[in-house]
A and B are shown apart, each in its own frame.
Chain A
C-alpha cells in the first residue's frame, strides 16, 4: 500500500514537472547588429551604474563576448543616491545613466568626459525630435547620449475611476481617498503640483514651492502613500485607483492588466531623459564609448526597449518595433502631449528650498 502511494506521488510530481516546462513556442530574439558593426577586443572592466531592471540582461553578456570587457552593472534607486555613490565611494565608475537635471549638475561640477563622437557612430540612429528636446540640458550633446525617455503622468484603473482623467486635480478628489499613489521623488511630486497650480516646473520662486507644499500637505489624508517600484504590483492587482508614474512603468503595468490606462494631464507635465554619460575619472574610456555605441545599435536598442518597456529615442529601433509599441500613446506620445511637457533643469542652490518643502510634505499625515 505504501509503495503504491509512493509511486502515485512520484507520478504526480513528474506530471507537475512536465506541466511546468516552459513552452518553446516564442522564437528566439534576434540579437544581431543592425549595421554589421565590428567590435575589436578591448578587455578590462567597465563599471556601469544605472537603475534596476533598466536593461535587457541578455545584452550585457553579448557585449562582453563581443569586446572581452567585463561589465559590472550596479543598480541604484534614484539620481540623488547616484550622486552620493559618485562622491562617496572609492570605486570609479565609467558609465552612468542619470536624468536630465542631474546631468546638468554633473556638467556644472565638471564630472563628465567630453564624448568622442567618432567612436559612437550609431548616434546617427537617434530621432531628431528627441535630440532637439534633450539638447536643452546638454547643448550639442557634448557629454551625453539619450538612453531612454518618457513622460510623467497618471496611471489609472478604468474600473475604479469613472471621472475623466485629464487634470492633476483628480489626485485631490476625495472620492478616491486612500487609493492614490504619489511618486516618492522630490522633483516629480512637487513638479506636477507646480504644474497643476500653473507654475513653471523649474520655478525659482519660494512662493510657488510653498503653494505646492501646502497643496500636497492638504492631500495627505487622501493618498495611499509615496511609492516607487511597489506601486507597479499594487496597480496591476487593482489595489489602488490612481498612481503618478513614469510612462515606461505605466506601459509595463498596462501590458499586464488591461483595465489600466495612462494619461498626461492637460496642465502639462515633465518630459524626462535618462542619458548615458562617461565620467571624467573613467579607467576604460575605450570600452565606455564602445558600450554606448553598442546600446545605440538599432537592433540592440529595439530588443532593449521591448524588454524594459521604456521609450527608446532610437529612430532605427522604432522602425523595427511592432505597432503594439509604436501606436501606443503611452510609449510613443503624440506631439501635443510633448508640447505641454517641460524638461527638468538643475536648480542649483534652490534645491534646498525644494528639499525643505519635501521633508515637510513627507512628515504630513
Chain B
C-alpha cells in the first residue's frame, strides 16, 4: 500500500499529458466551433485521398522496417560475435550519432542530399572527363561532358534512406541484446550434432532471436508510420506522409477555427498505432525474455 504512493506522480503525469490530450483530440473531432457535429469527421473518414496517404505511409513504414532488419541483423550478429570490449567500442561509435538531435541530423541530410552529393558527383564527372582518354568519353560515355546533377531531395528514395538511417540503431540495439545473451552451449550442441553453420543459423540462432526481431520491428515500425520530420525536410513538401497530412489539416483549417479534420486524422493514426502494438504484443507474448531493454 505504502509503495503505491510513489506511483502517484506518474499517474498524475499520465492523466494530464496523455489521457487529457487524447480526450481533447476526441472532443475537437466532433465539436466544430462549439457545435456538436459528425459531418466533418464523417467527411474526413470517407475521403479516399486521406486513406491513400495512410496507405502510402504504411507501405513506407514496411519498407523502412524491412530495410532496417536486413541491414541491422548482420550488424547486430557481427557485433555479438566480437570480444565484448571491441563490441562495446564499436557499438558506441554506432550509437554516438543518436546523441545528437534527431531534427539536426535530418537537416544535415537535407544539406548532403541537396548540395553536397550533387556537387561531389559533378566534380567527379569533371575529373573523369579530364583523366579519361577523350575518344573513350565521346564514344562510350558522352553524358559525362557537362554533367549536371539535380539535387536528390524530394524523392521517395531519399525519404526512405533517411528514415532507415534514423531508425537503424533502434533495430540494432534490441537485436544485439538478444544475440549477445544467446546461450553458447546451444550452438556447441548444434555443432556436436552435426549441423553446419548454415543450419545452425537458421535452425537455432534465428528462432532464438525472434524476441529481439519483434521488439526491433516495434521500435522501428511505429515511429516510421508516424514519421513527420523526415518527409517534411527531405520530401520537399512533395512526399507527404500521414503525419504531414495531419499538420496540413491543422495549418490550413484551424485558422478558420476548425480542428475536426486534423483531430479525426489523428484518431485514425492513433488507432493504427494501437493495432500494430497489439499485433506485436501477440507475437511477443510467449517470449518474455530478452530484447526488452526498450
Q: Which of A77-85, A115-123, A328-336 contacts B (4 or more CB under 8 A)?
A: A77-85
Q: Is the CB of B251 within 8 A of A81?
A: yes
Instruction: Answer whether A351 and B256 are a contact pair too, CB < 8 Å, given A179-B150, A234-B151, A239-B118.
Output: yes
Chain B, interface residues (CB within 8 Å), range: 20 to 34
Which chain A residue shows the least CB distance to B151? A239
| 8 A Cβ contacts from B238-263 to A | 238-240, 244-245, 248-257
- Residues on A with C-beta less than 8 A from B118 are 239
Which chain B residue shows the least CB distance to A79? B255
- Residues on B with C-beta less than 8 A from A68 are none
Asked whether any CB of chain B lies closer than 8 Å to the CB of A291, the reply is no
Asked whether any CB of chain A lies closer than 8 Å to the CB of B64, the reply is no
Q: Is the CB of B115 within 8 A of A239?
A: yes
Instruction: Answer whether A363 and B154 are a contact pair too, CB < 8 Å, given A186-B252, A237-B115, A355-B253.
Output: no
B98-122 to A contact mask, C-beta < 8 Å, 1/0: 0000000000001000110010000
Q: Is the CB of B257 within 8 A of A87?
A: yes
Interface size on A, residues (CB 8 A): 33
Cross-interface CB contact of A365 among B153, B239, B251, B256, cutoff 8 Å: B239
Asked whether any CB of chain B lies closer than 8 Å to the CB of A195, the reply is no
| 8 A Cβ contacts from A306-356 to B | 351-352, 355
Q: A82, A237, A351, A363 — which one has the most chain B CB atoms within 10 A of its CB? A: A363
Instruction: Answer whether A363 and B236 are a contact pair too, CB < 8 Å, given A81-B255, A234-B114.
Output: no
Asked whether any CB of chain A lies closer than 8 Å to the CB of B157, the reply is no
Which chain A residue shows the least CB distance to B244? A362
Q: Is the CB of B153 within 8 A of A362?
A: no
Cross-interface CB contact of B252 among A88, A234, A355, cutoff 8 Å: A355
- Residues on A with C-beta less than 8 A from B49 are 359-360, 363
Which chain A residue shows the least CB distance to B256? A351
Q: Is the CB of B153 within 8 A of A225?
A: yes
Which chain B residue shows the least CB distance to A220? B238
Return A242 CB to nearest CB of chain B, in Å.
Answer: 13
**Complex CA distance for A223 and B236, rounded to whole angstroms:** 10
Which chain A residue shows the least CB distance to B240? A362
Return A134 CB to nearest CB of chain B, in Å.
Answer: 22
Instruction: Answer whether A359 and B255 are a contact pair too, CB < 8 Å, given A224-B154, A225-B154, A239-B118.
Output: no
**Complex CA distance for A84 and B250, rounded to whole angstroms:** 9
Asked whether any CB of chain A lies closer than 8 Å to the CB of B142, the reply is no
| 8 A Cβ contacts from B169-210 to A | none
Asked whether any CB of chain B lies closer than 8 Å to the CB of A240, the reply is yes
Which chain B residue shows the least CB distance to A160? B148
Return B27 CB to nearest CB of chain A, in Å.
Answer: 14
**Complex CA distance for A227 and B232, rounded to whole angstroms:** 10
**Complex CA distance for A237 and B111, rounded to whole angstroms:** 12
Asked whether any CB of chain A lies closer than 8 Å to the CB of B267, the reply is no
Q: Is the CB of A363 within 8 A of B256?
A: no
Asked whether any CB of chain A lies closer than 8 Å to the CB of B237, the reply is yes
**Complex CA distance for A351 and B56, rounded to whole angstroms:** 27
- Residues on A with C-beta less than 8 A from B115 are 237, 239
**Complex CA distance for A363 and B241, rounded to whole angstroms:** 8
**Complex CA distance for A83 and B250, rounded to whole angstroms:** 11
Q: Is the CB of A226 within 8 A of B252?
A: no
- Residues on A with C-beta less than 8 A from B237 are 184, 225-227, 362
Return B239 CB to nearest CB of chain A, in Å.
Answer: 7
Q: Is the CB of B245 within 8 A of A224?
A: no
- Residues on A with C-beta less than 8 A from B257 are 87
- Residues on B with C-beta less than 8 A from A359 are 49-50, 245, 248-249, 252
- Residues on B with C-beta less than 8 A from A239 are 114-115, 118, 150-151
Which chain B residue shows the least CB distance to A78? B251
Return B143 CB to nearest CB of chain A, in Å.
Answer: 16
Q: A179-B150, A224-B154, A362-B240 are in contact. List 13 more A-B contacts (CB 8 A).
A: A79-B255, A82-B255, A84-B251, A84-B254, A84-B255, A224-B236, A227-B237, A230-B110, A234-B114, A239-B115, A351-B256, A359-B49, A365-B156
Q: Can you report 19 A-B residue pairs in the complex whose CB atoms are below 8 A from each other?
A: A80-B252, A88-B254, A178-B150, A179-B150, A184-B237, A186-B252, A225-B154, A225-B237, A225-B238, A230-B236, A239-B150, A352-B256, A358-B252, A359-B49, A362-B237, A363-B53, A365-B56, A365-B156, A365-B238
Q: Chain A residues in contact with chain B, CB under 8 A? A: 78-84, 87-88, 178-179, 184, 186, 220, 223-227, 230, 234, 237, 239-240, 351-352, 355, 358-360, 362-363, 365
Q: Chain B residues in contact with chain A, CB under 8 A? A: 49-50, 52-53, 56, 110, 114-115, 118, 150-151, 153-154, 156, 235-240, 244-245, 248-257
